């Protein structure tokens, strides 16, 4: 059974890689959420996560937006609260995200303050029942599928006099299908191995007060993130991370669309115990493939995860 489990894990990894390579060959039309963010949790679980994100390159804080030729420094502190409920036998995990920080593009003034607040949630559909803490400890994982949604609200610092802002000045809606194949005796197995794949689409409303124009329209952005993780002890794990993005073409007034976002980002994460049951997760990712006018640069994220 163990050999069969590893065979299925390799098969799913191969299928995920095939999907990603196929998308990369398609015609051209933000950083990822991270490994194990949407992993199944017992009913009643609450968590507060604090992220410190340092990003360097040509990407703005708005997902899927770039400024070719610019050097943009982004430093953001993000707070995320989530809780899992039992709704008709399904685990439902709403969350709220509040960012704050600063961003500055070369040759432009700094934008600082609160970023765009986000509200969203996940619902388990297949292989992801609502479980008490006792049932969760005995639950044998396998393939799981859920549905994910998020709304970005235009609450962030914004000025039409600045070419790059912390806020986007428009609503955005993201929907996705988080999938996982986990191999282990339970989700608390100290040798658990899992593959997570999250394809998603983000839709944007218009920005009616953009820099130097009357209106900015943005096409949908398609992303796929994948994480292959392995436990080395109950609280120490590492992951290989891959992110693909395509779309998000922007049209200013009645002008032509820009080239949008197209590129691959790769890196890794390491989770370590901190104090009590709090974990530290370090993530580094770098753009490894892009068009000449595509996204460029890197980001480093430090996450402090406190479940209770």
Q: What is the pLDDT of residue 31?
A: 64
CA distance 246 to 221: 6
Q: What is the pLDDT of residue 181?
A: 97
Q: What is the pLDDT of residue 265?
A: 94
Q: Tell me the C-alpha to C-alpha distance, in Å, between residue 205 and each of 31, 172, 219.
A: 20, 6, 9
The widest CA-to-CA distance across the chain, in whole angstroms, is: 62
Strands (E), the chain: 46-57, 72-83, 85-87, 90-105, 111-114, 118-126, 143-152, 172-176, 179-183, 193-204, 216-218, 221-233, 236-247, 250-252, 261-273, 279-290, 297-307
Residue 63: half-sphere exposure toward Cβ, Cα within 13 Å: 29
Which residues have C-beta within 8 Å of that of residue 157, sequence separation ≥ 6?
Answer: 111, 112, 113, 114, 115, 165, 166, 167
pTM: 0.86
Q: What is the pLDDT of residue 28?
A: 30
* 3-state SS assignment for residue 291: coil
Counting as low any pLDDT under 50, the low residues of the chain are 1-30
**Residue ranges of the alpha helices (H) in the chain?**
2-24, 133-138
Which residues have C-beta within 8 Å of that of residue 226, sequence separation ≥ 6?
Answer: 16, 17, 20, 195, 196, 197, 198, 241, 242, 243
Q: Are 101 and 116 in contact (CB under 8 A)?
A: no
């Amino acid at each position: 059974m163990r050999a069969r489990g590893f065979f299925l894990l390799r098969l799913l990894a191969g299928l995920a890689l095939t999907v990603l390579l196929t998308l990369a060959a398609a015609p051209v039309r933000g950083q990822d959420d991270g490994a194990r963010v949407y992993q199944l949790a017992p009913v009643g679980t609450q968590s507060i996560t604090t992220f410190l994100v340092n990003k360097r390159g040509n990407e703005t804080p708005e997902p899927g937006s770039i400024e070719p030729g610019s050097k943009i420094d982004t430093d953001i502190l993000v707070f995320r609260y989530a809780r899992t409920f039992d709704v008709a036998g399904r685990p439902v995990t709403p969350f709220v995200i509040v960012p704050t920080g600063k961003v500055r593009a070369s040759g432009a003034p700094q934008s600082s303050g609160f970023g765009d607040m986000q509200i969203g949630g996940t619902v388990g559909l297949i292989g992801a029942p609502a479980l008490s803490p006792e049932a969760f400890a005995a639950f044998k994982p396998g393939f799981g599928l859920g549905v994910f949604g998020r709304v970005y609200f235009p609450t962030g610092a914004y000025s039409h006099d600045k070419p790059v802002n912390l806020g986007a000045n428009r609503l955005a809606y993201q929907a996705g299908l988080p999938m996982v194949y986990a191999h282990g005796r339970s989700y608390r197995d100290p040798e658990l191995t899992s593959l997570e794949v999250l394809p998603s689409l983000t839709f944007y409303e218009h920005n009616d007060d953009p820099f130097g124009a009357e209106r900015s329209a943005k096409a949908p952005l398609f992303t796929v993130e994948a994480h292959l993780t392995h436990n080395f002890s109950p609280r120490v794990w590492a992951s290989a991370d891959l992110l693909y993005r395509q779309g998000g073409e922007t049209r200013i007034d009645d002008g032509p669309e820009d080239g949008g976002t197209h590129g691959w980002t790769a890196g890794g994460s390491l989770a370590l115990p901190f104090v009590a049951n709090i974990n530290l997760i370090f993530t580094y990712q770098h753009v490894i493939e892009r068009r000449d006018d595509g996204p460029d640069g890197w980001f480093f994220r430090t996450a402090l995860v406190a479940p209770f």
